[in-house]
Structure 1
Amino acid sequence: MDKRLSKPNTRIIWSILVVAVIMMTVLFLTYNTYGNWEFALNYRGKKMLAFIFVAISTSFATISFQTLANNHFLTPSILGFDSLYTLIHTVLFFFMGEQAKIALLSNQLVMFFVNVSLMIVLSTTLFYFLLKKQGNNLYLLLMVGMILGTLFGSISTFLQVLLDPNEFDKLQGKLFASFANVNTTLLTLAFVFLFFGAGYLWMVAKKMDVLHLGKDVATNLGINVNRFQWQLLFVISLLVAVSTALVGPITFLGFIVANISYQLFNTYKHRTLFIGSTLIAILMLIGGQFLVEQVFKWNTTLSVVIEFSGGVYFVGKLLKERK
């Protein structure tokens, strides 16, 4: 018996999510603005645009990566991107002089390029040597990614211990995901990367549908699986790098929205999952930021709420799957 949702049911869920996103967006833009629409559009509107970019990049990258790894528990952060982001900033704080540090860190555009470029160079090098030279062993790639993430984290911790306490305090402000102080000057550049990355994944969504049938079947159907894996990993790295460079490392956001999408839509079709997970991510980010700003009055941050909720959800799903 086919357990997949019918198109009418899928559209109903989409409609509910769209209505919820619109209502939350209106509430986020208008609450406590006291009729000052210019403030709402200039400040909150640009922040909301950043939420949408992060939601799209995280959702597309996580679902594609989980299809590639054939595992719903893994996320692209297993390749060490979060640890690399932390290492980049830690090294800059540790080795650069005060004036050079201020000049570089104040130029967000340069930092954006540095983060994205280093992440893509590392991932491309890793993919080349492990996928091309080692017989396209994807599990070896994941294992090496985990080891490198641990290595980067250890180096970062060691350097942070040696930092001056004041410097360490400044560094911590850079390492936590920040949705409240998104640099809107980076949105245009992020949109360009996002357009090509998410656009590519959307176009090859049907090929990814075939990957669920297994490597041998996909090969028999005319897909060069080895080359396709490499291309997917490169694009996933680009999207993760853009999201991380824009707001900082977010480990569990993609895991939450992807797995909720699997449960809601119960389908293998990636385009359906892409749309659903993106709507869920937008709703979570906008709704979560509204709660942080208006309800909790900045007593916590959205990234902390997401990481805590994601950790609880991960453990709950792990126990459920074990049973």
Structure 2
Amino acid sequence: MAERRLLALCTLLALVASLFLLWNLRAPYAFLLTLRAEKLAALVTVGAATGAATIVFQTIAANRLLTPGIVGFDSLFVFIQTALVFTLGAAGHATLSPLPKFLGEALCLTIAATTLFGLLLRRGAGDMIRMLLTGVILGVLLRGMAGLAQRLLEPSEFAVVQQAVVASFNVVNGGPLGIAAVTLALALAALWHMGPVLDVAALGRDRARTLGLAHDRVVFTALALVAVLVSVSTALVGPVTFLGLLAASLAHAAVPDHRHRLLVPAAAMIGAALLVGGQALFERVLGLQSALAIVVEFAGGLLFLLLVPWRDAR
């Protein structure tokens, strides 16, 4: 049954992608298809990376209300963009080459996250609460520092920062996109391979170790893959904090199974379908009158508020 639902999700994603590519297609066909295909690849990459990363992070944290953004990915990205504009100015920021900028941001985010995980989990992966609280505090600190620097910027420079920190899929460079897509494929393959051990890790540290699992090593490896996925997707288009929560919650509802070899692909496909379908709606129906990231954050925030009392009731 779960496998059939996974196949249905794959079919849904294919239909949504076809709709995005072909809806209201006009001449010149080759040019428009090339632009739409590049944007489609970015939407699928970011949506799949965010959905898969959130499923694994929730398993490790043993909490379906959390997303990887809680450890400060978004705050660090905002701080990096603010620091770049503060030091280089608006003109200098605009002249940065997309590929080196993407690689630098992805590397900074990945190193910061893995360092945080390594330092805080060195006493064992049972101390997840301390790691999460430290991530929250660091996120608040980074946003405070970024806010202070933004107050010192010129109005034109501040506008550049505001544009840079909002996720946008309208202009995605092919070089960073290719690297992000390859990284996503490798990370998803690694998570699929880890599926059975993640199933055991979901039982809890004590039970997993009783069954012979090297729990702490599995947790750190999984968190490192989560850091890579979220860092690459954030550096590519910007932060989309609550997309993962939407994708993970819908994946658990669509595929009611504990096996991560089903849940991870389900969340990846749902995350991709949400972004592709949402972008198609905004471009073809609403005429880009709003930003997709803003609506995703709003819907994710509402879902979070709905999930809190539901989990308390359980």
Q: TM-score, normalised by structure 1?
A: 0.92
| C-alpha RMSD over aligned residues | 1.7
Q: 2:121 matched to which residue of 1? A: 131
1:33 aligns with 2:25: yes
Aligned partner (choices 175, 181, 186) of residue 185 of structure 1: 175
- 1:59–1:278 contact (8 Å) kept in structure 2: yes
Q: Structure 1: which 5+ residue stretches go unaligned?
A: 1-8
Aligned partner (choices 168, 175, 198) of residue 208 of structure 1: 198
- 1:79–1:146 contact (8 Å) kept in structure 2: yes
1:46 aligns with 2:42: no
1:290 aligns with 2:280: yes
Cα distance between partner residues in 1 of 2:91 and 2:75: 26
Q: 1:91 matched to which residue of 2? A: 83
Deviation of 1:136 after TM superposition, in Å, equals: 5.3
- 2:20–2:276 contact (8 Å) kept in structure 1: yes
Paired letter, 1:259? S
Paired letter, 1:200? A
Aligned partner (choices 166, 169, 185) of residue 156 of structure 2: 166
Aligned partner (choices 72, 77, 80) of residue 69 of structure 2: 77
1:138-169, CA deviations, whole angstroms, 9 ceiling, x for partnerless residues? 21111100000010111111111111111111
Q: 1:146 matched to which residue of 2? A: 136
Q: Matches of residues 140-289 of structure 1 in structure 2 within 5 Å?
A: 140-289=130-279
Deviation of 1:13 after TM superposition, in Å, equals: 2.3
- 2:81–2:164 contact (8 Å) kept in structure 1: yes
1:178-220, CA deviations, whole angstroms, 9 ceiling, x for partnerless residues? 0222222212211232233222111111100001222122112
Cα distance between partner residues in 2 of 1:11 and 1:174: 40
Paired letter, 1:175? V
Moved more, 180-189 or 111-120: 180-189
- Residues 217 and 28 from structure 1, CA distance in 2 versus in 1: closer, same or farther, beyond 3 angstroms? same
1:235-287, CA deviations, whole angstroms, 9 ceiling, x for partnerless residues? 11011000101110010000001011112222110111112212211221111
Q: 1:22 matched to which residue of 2? A: 14
Paired letter, 1:158? L
- Residues 49 and 102 from structure 1, CA distance in 2 versus in 1: closer, same or farther, beyond 3 angstroms? closer
Q: 2:296 matched to which residue of 1? A: 306
- Residues 98 and 319 from structure 1, CA distance in 2 versus in 1: closer, same or farther, beyond 3 angstroms? closer
Cα distance between partner residues in 1 of 2:5 and 2:124: 43
Deviation of 1:87 after TM superposition, in Å, equals: 0.1
- 2:125–2:205 contact (8 Å) kept in structure 1: no
- 1:33–1:39 contact (8 Å) kept in structure 2: no
Cα distance between partner residues in 2 of 1:90 and 1:184: 24
Alignment coverage as a number of residue pairs: 313
Paired letter, 1:85? F
Q: Structure 2: which 5+ residue stretches go unaligned?
A: none
- 1:130–1:136 contact (8 Å) kept in structure 2: no
Paired letter, 2:154? D
- Paired-residue identity, %: 35
- Residues 131 and 25 from structure 1, CA distance in 2 versus in 1: closer, same or farther, beyond 3 angstroms? same
Cα distance between partner residues in 1 of 2:2 and 2:125: 39
Structure 2 residue matching 1:163: 3-state secondary structure? coil
Q: TM-score, normalised by structure 2?
A: 0.94
